[in-house]
Amino acid sequence: MTTSSVGGPRRTGSFGPSALATPANALTAARLLLAPVVIVLIVDRGASWETLAIWIAVAGSDALDGWVARRQGSTSSGAFLDPLADKVLVLGALVALVAAGTFWWVPVALIALREVVISIYRSYVGRQGISVPARRWAKIKTIVQEVAIGFALLPLTSDEKWVATMVLWVAVVLTLVTGAQYLLDGRRTQRAL
């Protein structure tokens, strides 16, 4: 046990790096399981207060599971599952919004292509023993994507599609920039070995 900044005891490192059954992983699994529900709601109801509330709860659970993981110990399974849940949730919602006619397919395709390319790249270099950790901007990129989806689902802005579209294009720029960062970081690590 260690002492937190407010003076009380705080548990750290409760789970080892190889642990699978952790509270953080349970939250991530719940996010994965709820992703199809969110996608169906987007297709079925579109912009509504109910859909938005569920979107905020499910997307916001990412911050909670990150907080739990930092307090109780990060795991290799969590490092794999958390970004996977983010991708399934965000890409599923974006595709649903394209199907609903809210978003143009081009920015969504650019985001999806980057996610696929970087996932393949990280797997490839991972097999060589090279880890390319996510930078802070990659997390910001995911948040901006989630905010774009939120604006598309918000009844107050659903008729003003330019608001969500503008945020989506900011997300596209961040998505491509962070993708380039992954590739450069991986190359630097490969050269250093």
With contact defined as beta carbons under 8 Å apart, do 86 and 33 qualify? no
Q: Read off the amino acid at residue 88.
A: V
**What would the pLDDT profile of 62-88 be if each residue is shown by its tens digit?**
777 767 766 766 665 556 677 788 899
Between helices 76-99 and 49-72, what is the axis angle to 10°?
170
Rank 9-23, 37-51, 63-77, 127-141 by mean pLDDT and report only the highest: 37-51
**Range name among 11-15, 102-106, 155-159, 176-180 with the lowest pLDDT average:** 11-15
With contact defined as beta carbons under 8 Å apart, do 130 and 190 qualify? yes
Q: Alpha-carbon distance 151 to 146, whole Å?
A: 9
- pLDDT higher at 169 or 8: 169
Q: Which domains does the chain carry?
A: 19-188 (1.20.120.1760)
Number of other residues whose CB lies within 10 A of the CB of residue 9: 8
Nearest in space to 163 (alpha carbons), one of 102, 120, 101, 88:
102
Q: What is the pLDDT of residue 30?
A: 85
Q: Read off the amino acid at residue 178.
A: T
Structure pTM? Answer: 0.82
Angle (CA) 137-141-143 rounded to 5° is 115
**What would the pLDDT profile of 25-41 be if each residue is shown by its tens digit?**
778 888 889 999 999 99
